[in-house]
Amino acid sequence: MHGPQTQSADLEARRLQEAIADIGNRGASEQHLRSVIDECRTFLSSQPRSSFQDLRVSHRMLAYMCEVRSKLKIEKKVVEDLHKEIADKEAEKKEVERKYEDLVLTSRAAKDTATAIEASLREHCDRAQAAYQYMADRYKFVVGEWGRLNEELKLLRSGSNLVDPDYHKHAIDRYPVPEFPQLPSRDADSDLDLKAKVVNPEYLISPLPEFTGGLPSSLGAFAALPDVDSGDGEPEDEESTDDEELEEPSTSSCGAEGCPLNCRCVPFPVPAMPPVMSQRFVMEKSNTVQDLDSTPGPRKQAPIDQASSFSSYRFFVSVFPQLFHSPTRH
């Protein structure tokens, strides 16, 4: 038997079924859908589980569809947020790539500029180092030349003949001196064959000319031999005598080769022989005399002292004035 409660339950189940069908056919909002689902859940909870099976299946399907639509809506929102974030990241990536390209171009230009500057600085450094090395070498050379010239100046001022052999070597290397010519060979009995050797280049003199004629007839061209200073007299008298001789020019030929008959050559004072040169001259003269004495012959000479050697030196100058006269006085 069916009672009034059963009839009312059937009517409610039919209404809910029609509402579900209307939602399926026309659609509905989420709020209306959730209200229909709540009414179906309330109605079916009060009914036995075996009753109204069609309504129960429709309710489960509608609830599942509502849950899926809710999750889809949430996922769509998440997806939209992700797409928006991706778009922002893409824009940021493009901006970063653009900045990177700009930085690459700037870095390349800066690198090229730095390379050019480095090459220029290296070249300048090489030139500066070469110039510094050149100036250092020139400085060393100038210092060496200054030392040598200073040594020469000291030697010239002191008038000493004791010269270091290294000094001669450097001086000859810098200022080459022609080799001193040998004197023409004389007879063994000639006093002019002294077999002298060059001791110092400062005392080089011109070679003796070969005489083809006799001596000049007039002996007025030869200056008188000065007295040899024995060391006891005063040197001032000899200097005054030399000055007086310089004031009187000779009126006849001086005997020099190419000099006219009446020349106005003025004799000049013969410089005093340095002590060391005098000693060496005496030694060479003594050796020569010994050689001459060792040869067979009736001649025999006494030992030569410093005064006689000095007189021979002055006689040699007076006999051959063309070797010592000044061409500028003609």
Distance, CA of 139 to CA of 306 (rounded, Å): 48
**Coil/strand/helix, residue 271:** coil
Higher-scoring residue by pLDDT: 50, 276: 50
What DSSP string runs through 286-330? HHHHHHHHHSSSS---PPP-HHHHHHHHHHHHHH-GGGTS-GGG-
What are the tens digits of pLDDT across the range 167-188?
Answer: 555 554 554 444 444 444 444 4
Question: What does the pLDDT read at residue 224?
Answer: 56
Task: Identify the residue with better confidence: 275 or 41.
Answer: 41
Question: Mind giving me the DSSP string for 100-113?
Answer: HHHHHHHHHHHHHH
Higher pLDDT, 76 or 1: 76
Q: How far is CA 37 from the centre of its chain?
A: 101
Per the model's pLDDT, the better-predicted residue between 19 and 244 turns out to be 19
Encoding tokens for residue 195? 């077999």
129 compared with 324, residue with greater pLDDT: 129
Write down the domain spans for the chain: 6-93, 184-211+219-294+301-329
Task: Provide, rounded to the nearest whole percent, the portion of the chain with pLDDT above 70.
Answer: 47
Half-sphere exposure in the Cβ direction for 278 (13 Å, CA): 15
Q: Give the gyration radius of the chain's Cα atoms.
A: 68
Q: For 22-51, what is the mean pLDDT? A: 84
- Cβ atoms of 244 and 261 within 8 Å: the answer is no
Neighbour-count burial of 157, counting CB atoms closer than 10 A to its CB (0-12 exposed, 13-18 middle, 19+ buried): exposed
DSSP reduced 3-state for 269: coil
List, for residues 130-149, the tens digit of each pLDDT value.
Answer: 999 999 999 999 999 999 99
3-state helix, strand, coil in the chain (%, to 5): 65, 0, 35
- pLDDT score for 286: 54
